[in-house]
Amino acid sequence: MDDRLDVLWTARLEQADGRVGACTVHDISLAGILISTDEPVTAGEELLIEIEGIGSFAGRLMWRHEKQGGVALVAGPDLLLKKFAERAGEALSTHPEKPDDGF
């Protein structure tokens, strides 16, 4: 089972039809992320999540309940994403910090 790391990062959400909005990333694993958004996004939709300071991650919304949804990552440097979260240590990360190992 893949560990999830809790974060609280603001991000830009781009939908396949070009609509752009905001979302919050709540946790990260190697396979995906948990987001919340007010945008009208439906399960199965392809998304691009852009996290300032890290980059863009392509994914598919696998499920949604009210404002939260699970995004399976399909492209992007997901190991790098998790390393940014790990850099925060045990404290809740409110913004990405570069890892020490040269990523």
CATH number, domain with residue 53: 2.40.10.220
Q: What pLDDT, on the 0 to 100 scale, is given for residue 103?
A: 45
- Structural domain contains residue 30: yes
Rounded to the nearest 5 percent, the helix, strand and coil shares of the chain are 10, 50, 40
pTM: 0.75
Range of the domain at 35: 5-76
| pLDDT at residue 91 tops 60 | no
| pLDDT at residue 96 tops 90 | no
Burial-class residue 69 by CB neighbours within 10 Å (0-12, 13-18, 19+): buried
- Structural domain contains residue 33: yes
Q: How many domains does the chain have?
A: 1
- Structural domain contains residue 48: yes
pLDDT tens-digit map of 25-84: 999 887 789 999 999 999 999 999 998 888 888 899 999 999 999 999 886 555 566 566
Alpha helix (H) residue ranges in 2-93: 78-87
- Structural domain contains residue 81: no
CB 49 within 8 A of CB 75: no
